[in-house]
Amino acid sequence: MNVYCVKAIYPEYGAHVLVMIIYHEGSKADVAAALSTKGWKVQSVKGATMADLNEVQTYDDVRKFVKEEVARKRQVEAENARRAEAARRAQEEAERQAAEHRRRAEEDARMLAISEAAGDLLGADLEPELAGNAKLAALCAKTLLFFDQAGLNRRDLFTAISIDFADFESQTSCPQANKMLGALLRDLTNVLRIDEEIAKLDLRVREDRASAEGQLNSIGSRTHVYGGSGEMLLLSMWAASSAAREDERAMQSIQSGYEQRVELARRAVQQGRLQQQYLEFRAKTAVSLLLVACGKSKTIDVSMPPDVQRFVLTPHA
């Protein structure tokens, strides 16, 4: 029986070099081969000395220690993996709850906006006598054209809708429907009024631009000359330079004032268009309710565009 002192690494334990005494009948190569089959990476094999026998543990002791350490390491890794999985699931659940909270908040905001914008319409109890009313269906169709056909003359279409409403009101005893149609016409009137205000604003902006350009051209065409001699020449030069600076400041002021007015006009137009989108939502909601009432549709459409929702929920002075 041969006695060897072996240095080897057990990769699963780590990169630590372990030293052990092995009793084996074979050669050093046989020892190395036997250990390799058991997962060891042998670094060296030499004959053991008396000092090795006194100081170095046997293979069985080292193997027992390594197996215990590997088992502990696996347990720690398993626990870490379990905790990581639990943390991942907790994160996913938190994200799911947050997404659900956002969805509910968005839905609550949407329902609040719809209620604020068209609560008076949705609460109406339309008469059952409206079923099959062709005049009401035609009036609704013209209202949709008012918004969806950009090439048509809105004012002419509004006149036709007003006539249809007067005819419907005079021949139909449906107070709730008449009330809703009256609100519908008021909304259409406001849409046309905003169109007129925007057109006037556009005209004022164009006139303002022409005026600003005229003022800028007038100032820019000025020529400041200087002359004389001695002190008078210096004073003349200073006066001409000062006048040129005054002209430059005046031109900057005109340009700045014009740009500010253009920006105010742009915001006013943007606000007017949002107001029109809000009125369009109300009108189309009323049309949807009336079409269901007269049997031309089975579902009520209250889909509100995001821009309209923000407009409705934003406080306005």
Token digits for 280? 């369009």
Q: Would the pLDDT of 230 be above 70?
A: no
Share of the chain above pLDDT 90, in %: 61
CA separation for the pair 140, 71 (Å, rounded): 79
Q: Tens digits of per-residue pLDDT, 251-285?
A: 777 788 878 888 888 999 999 999 999 999 999 99
Residue-level pLDDT at 261: 84
Q: Would the pLDDT of 237 be above 70?
A: no
Check if the beta carbon of residue 5 is closer than 8 Å to that of residue 21: yes
Q: Would the pLDDT of 105 be above 80?
A: yes
Residue-level pLDDT at 98: 96
Average pLDDT over residues 148-177: 89
Residue-level pLDDT at 6: 92
| Predicted confidence band of residue 222 (pLDDT cuts 50, 70, 90) | low
What is the dihedral sign for C-alpha 75, 81, 85, 87?
A: positive
Rg (CA), the chain: 45
Check if the beta carbon of residue 179 is closer than 8 Å to that of residue 125: no
Q: Tens digits of per-residue pLDDT, 18-35?
A: 999 999 999 999 999 999
Say if strands 2-9 and 41-47 run parallel, antiparallel, or are unpaired. Answer: antiparallel
Find the helix or strand (DSSP H, E) in which 185 lies.
helix 175-220
Residue-level pLDDT at 300: 87
Check if the beta carbon of residue 58 is closer than 8 Å to that of residue 3: no
**Average pLDDT along the chain:** 86
DSSP string, 215-233: HHHHHHT-------STHHH
Residue-level pLDDT at 228: 42
**Angle at alpha carbon of residue 167, lines to 165 and 168, rounded to 5°:** 65
Q: Please name the residue that has the structure tokens 């918004």.
A: 147
Find the helix or strand (DSSP H, E) in which 121 lies.
helix 59-122
Instruction: Classify residue 285 by burial, with Cβ atoms within 10 Å: 0-12, 13-18, 19+.
Output: buried
| Predicted confidence band of residue 78 (pLDDT cuts 50, 70, 90) | very high
Q: Would the pLDDT of 226 be above 70?
A: no
CA separation for the pair 122, 224 (Å, rounded): 71
Residue-level pLDDT at 142: 93
Q: Tens digits of per-residue pLDDT, 172-219?
A: 889 999 999 999 999 999 999 999 999 999 998 888 888 877 776 665
CA separation for the pair 178, 173 (Å, rounded): 8
| Predicted confidence band of residue 245 (pLDDT cuts 50, 70, 90) | low
**Number of C-beta neighbours around residue 49 at 10 A:** 12
Q: Which residue has the higher pLDDT, 220 or 45?
A: 45
Q: Tens digits of per-residue pLDDT, 89-104?
A: 999 999 999 999 999 9
Listed in order, strand segments (DSSP E) in the chain are 2-9, 17-24, 41-47
Torsion of CA 87, 88, 92, 98, to 10 degrees: 40
Share of the chain above pLDDT 70, in %: 89
Check if the beta carbon of residue 127 is closer than 8 Å to that of residue 293: yes
Helical pair 59-122 and 175-220, crossing angle rounded to 10 deg: 100
- Of 43-52, 148-157, 193-202, the poorest mean pLDDT is in 148-157
